Amino acid sequence: MFGLLAAVWGASYLFIKVALEDGLSPPFIVFARCALAALVLLPLAAHIGALAGLRERLGALVVLAFIQVTFPFMLITIGEQEISSSLTGILVASAPIFTFLLAFVLSGAERAGALSLAGVAIGIGGVALLLGVDAPGGTPAVVGGLLVVLATLGYGVGAWFLKRRLPGVQPVGAVGATTAATAVMTLPLAAFGLPDHAPGIDAVGSLALLGVLGTGLAFILFYSLVASEGPAKASLVAYVAPGFSVVYGVTLLDERFTVATAAGLVLIIAGSWVAAEGRLPWRRPAPVEAIAPAGTGAPDGCEPAGARVRA
């Protein structure tokens, strides 16, 4: 499941690029992928009862949809008009860096040690290397890359908003609702950006795969992994998916892969890991104190000796 999720998410930027090269507008692409994803996710959410309580939080869900879906999807698709699909996938991998910075600004991340901040600097250095050296096309490519990087901020703000304003919402229901809301929000723009020709079979297939697999199935796989393996292991997919993006772009779209590309990829992945984890990849996580489960017979606040164990 982990490998399939990385392969599917890594292919999203390939599908976007194929649709763009056929002349489809960014709003139309975002509308199509989210509408198809909603068609996949909402029936599943209804079947498992994940839509319970969403009506009372409709306003917050619309805000979440704009921050975490509409905003980043539009920026990534617009930016990818100027840069390659492989470079897009690498730049999106910088999301943990900006998520960390956002958490630090909002609440003063407890793990904001020297190593985490060094990881931020390393990752930003990788972004600068890719945009300053490896982005072909001059200023338009740099602007396109910056739009992709800015999109990752939407993911960070969205995660913070989801935690603060929508606690307890089941993930599949939230994603189904936000993709449906994004489809509604982008429909007017998509209507003005309808293609003036019949899309080719490659573009149609890419849109279908982007919506059903890259957005709908991908979230199902991700939350299934979160449930079975835990969020820490599931989130590691962010470090694997860019590799698939590069392989797809180079082999299927004949995109270039230079020494600067490789260096930028390594810096961003390494910096993201260190910033997010607060440790070097080869070091084990620090032991965390775990409280013995209820039912030991001790009253509240009075644990028997040995009740706190090292996890």
Residue 302 has a pLDDT of 33
Contact 170, 45 (CB under 8 A): yes
Domain membership of residue 177 (yes or no) is yes
Is residue 305 a part of any domain in this protein? Answer: no
What's the pLDDT at 29?
96
Domains contained in the chain, number: 1
Torsion of CA 287, 293, 298, 299, to 10 degrees: 100
pLDDT of residue 157: 85
pLDDT in the model for residue 300: 36
Host domain of residue 174: 2-281
d(CA 184, CA 199): 22
pLDDT at 220: 83
Q: Please report the pLDDT score of residue 293 as a whole number.
A: 36
Residue 294 maps to a domain: no
Q: Which residues of the chain have pLDDT under 50?
A: 288-311
Residues 180-232: pLDDT tens digits?
999 999 999 999 888 888 889 999 999 999 999 998 888 888 878 877 877 66
Whether 292 is covered by a domain: the verdict is no
> Looking at the domain assignment, is residue 306 inside a domain?
no
Residue indicated by tokens 């080869």: 282
What's the pLDDT score for residue 310? 29
